[in-house]
Amino acid sequence: MFTQHGIEPSFTDRHEAGRALATELQALNLDNPLILALPRGGVPVAREVATALGAEFDLLLVRKIGAPGHEEYGIGAVAEGAHPQLVVSQAVLGLAGASQGYLEAEQERQLAEIERRRLLWRGGRPPIPVAGRTCVVVDDGVATGNTARAAIRALRFDGAARIILAVPVAPPDVIEQLAQEADMLVCLKTPEPFLAVSLHYRHFGQLGDEQVTELLG
């Protein structure tokens, strides 16, 4: 089956991708890992990984920062944590016309949205502490790498002992960059050219809040 871009999907859906990732991670014999999903898309992938590994499972909330007037065009990301981490793409920052004031305001706005979603999805339960843990960060794929980079840096500041980034698909150049941030990187597919994460799934629907809450349970 081919998409309109001539790309054959590698995975049926996020659950299948999660099971494939779990097979790779099981071979590492990780000691008491904490599986951290980047919502929303990373949640079903991470759920499969956590189930297969018999591991604890939680969210790591990260929000994209969009360009002024074009929120869908990501120029950075901010991650929750004791030391919230802001990551921006310096190469596009000037082109996007984003001032320091804009970035600071967006960081505060997105941290407020992170808090809202934390309460919605986790309820009153606090995050599982990451200090001293082997943390496996899971998403359904990587495009720019900003979200994953912010997540890794937040975990580093919060004292994670070891950080593994595990994703089904990502561009090869971005994977090379992220390999310098994480202690280990597991990526199943690195197609080139890379157009979009969604093209590598046959079914890539949006997840609702109820689905995220159910998968967490």
pLDDT for 202 beyond 90 = yes
Work out the percent of the chain whose per-residue pLDDT is above 70.
93
Non-local (6+) Cβ contacts of 47 within 8 A are: 15, 18, 37, 57, 215
Alpha carbon distance 94, 73 (integer Å): 14
- What amino acid occupies position 128? I
pTM above 0.85, yes or no: yes
Contact, 160 vs 51, CB < 8 A?
Answer: no
* Residue showing tokens 């951290």: 36
pLDDT tens digit string along 73-115? 778 889 887 777 788 876 666 666 677 888 888 889 999 999 8
Question: Cα-atom radius of gyration of the chain, to the nearest Å?
Answer: 17
pLDDT for 186 beyond 90 = yes
Confidence of residue 3 (pLDDT cuts 50, 70, 90): very low
- Residue (of 28, 19, 23, 11) closest to 47 by Cα position: 19
pLDDT tens digit string along 127-168? 899 999 999 999 999 998 989 999 999 999 999 999 999 999
pLDDT for 33 beyond 70 = yes
